[in-house]
Structure 1
């Protein structure tokens, strides 16, 4: 919206004279860290039809993106919080990363991503990634309240073609409320981003020791999302599961997103 001016341009819709090159754009610095937590705590935050798949490991990923073609060379940053899950519907079954929440620091990407592909996106102030004394540091906040810190230290080179566990892709819940009928849904569906991304090329990967910390917030600290941050802050960190720093180029536009039933 507003649709009466025509379709909204974005990563999946382009003006006629613009040129996209998914093998070149975008350039991404990804910083991730994982930790093992309590399975029953994670299960509380899975929608109907989902179950945990494997170990209850939470991964937080900062993706600092530059040279984005659909933004005419500009960039922005996204944060993903995921854990492994399986969805079983009336027709479909898929196992992969359950995308619990996404934070981004660009409203344009938030709006189109929520509406078109069902990503659970929120806004955050995300600082530029920085490296100090060999430690990669990432932080996020909202209007002065820092709610997330991630660090990867003791970095060393790792294989660029390293493969993770077998996955059908990223799973998420797309939800739109019904206007005037509070608590009811106009739309509630599970969407899948297939794992295949042939245009993405990893140029460098490093591994190390990763740490993640969510800071508990009051309502006054984060009036619109303290419940999200506090749910993540309440997850016990049983064991750190390492971190990575990855430099890549290219990537898909999520036009292959589909609904699971």
Structure 2
């Protein structure tokens, strides 16, 4: 006799071994508090680019918001509860965007791509949440000549370099002021899952929001400085499934840099507060 799916339980492939564990379900079905972990270092560099270049990267229902500023963030997390104390690293690229949905306008940072160096968060984030996650090797940052240097590689090909220097610590008041000044609903995404055997059709296709609130996150320190970055032109032979992503980012004009930040935080959330944003014409597309 075949197995039956248990109502309200979390599954992902392979489903044959029962409900899955991950960021939103522990080994006994419990949730993770994310109160004292993870411990996170985030290094961000922003630059002004061209409106027409960024608008061309937005999916249906989105328009560019505010200034055409690209932010690239390298994030290093440790002591993650759902990984039994292990950690992983991320590299994300965001631009300001507005989603024109059934409930009105939703402004936030649209996540163009998020590289991670571990399979489990990639799978859970893509399938369960709708994050545009893919794999890369993301070594820990190194310090040279009073600058922080970050890099990203895929199978030996180095496709990004980022550096931050001239860092000055911010006061608690400045950190709070930065948070208050952020007029954003959160991070916007576009979830897309192709339909098996039918090229050009989707099983799932809709906009998603990660609400900005992270009640358990505490900023322990933050510094502001100057940064620079470069995405390196890739051949198909260098990155057979990602070269078009890297080359699109490489082609973005850097009109001027808009500063850099380094932040250290403790705590987070399990992202179970994700929201589907309905399209104006009705429910999200799901076949």
TM-score normalised per structure 1: 0.97
CA contact (8 A) 1:85 1:97 kept: yes
Q: Distance in 1 between matches of 2:35 and 2:104?
A: 31
1:126-164 CA distances to partner (integer Å, 9 max, x unpaired)?
Answer: 111122221011100101111011111111101332324
User: Would you identify which runs of 4 or more consecutive aligned residues in structure 1 move more than 6 Å?
Assistant: none
> Map of 1:33-182 to 2, 5 A cutoff?
33-158=45-170, 159-161=174-176, 162-163=178-179, 164-182=181-199
The residue aligned with 1:254 is 271
Q: Distance in 2 between matches of 1:20 and 1:183?
A: 38
* Correspondence 1:235 to 2:252: yes
* Correspondence 1:27 to 2:39: yes
1:111-139 CA distances to partner (integer Å, 9 max, x unpaired)?
Answer: 00000000000000011112222101110
Q: 1:198 to 1:222 in 2, by over 3 A?
A: same
Q: 1:17 to 1:83 in 2, by over 3 A?
A: closer
CA contact (8 A) 2:110 2:187 kept: yes
Q: Distance in 2 between matches of 1:17 and 1:191?
A: 25
The residue aligned with 1:192 is 209
The structure that has the greater radius of gyration is 2
CA contact (8 A) 2:23 2:32 kept: no
Q: CA deviation at 1:18?
A: 6.6
- What 5-or-longer segments of structure 1 have no aligned partner? none
Q: Distance in 2 between matches of 1:168 and 1:88?
A: 13
1:39-64 CA distances to partner (integer Å, 9 max, x unpaired)?
Answer: 00001100011001110000000110
Q: Distance in 2 between matches of 1:15 and 1:189?
A: 30
Aligned pair count reads 261
Q: CA deviation at 1:71?
A: 0.6
The residue aligned with 1:13 is 25
The residue aligned with 1:205 is 222
64-73 or 19-28: which moved more?
19-28
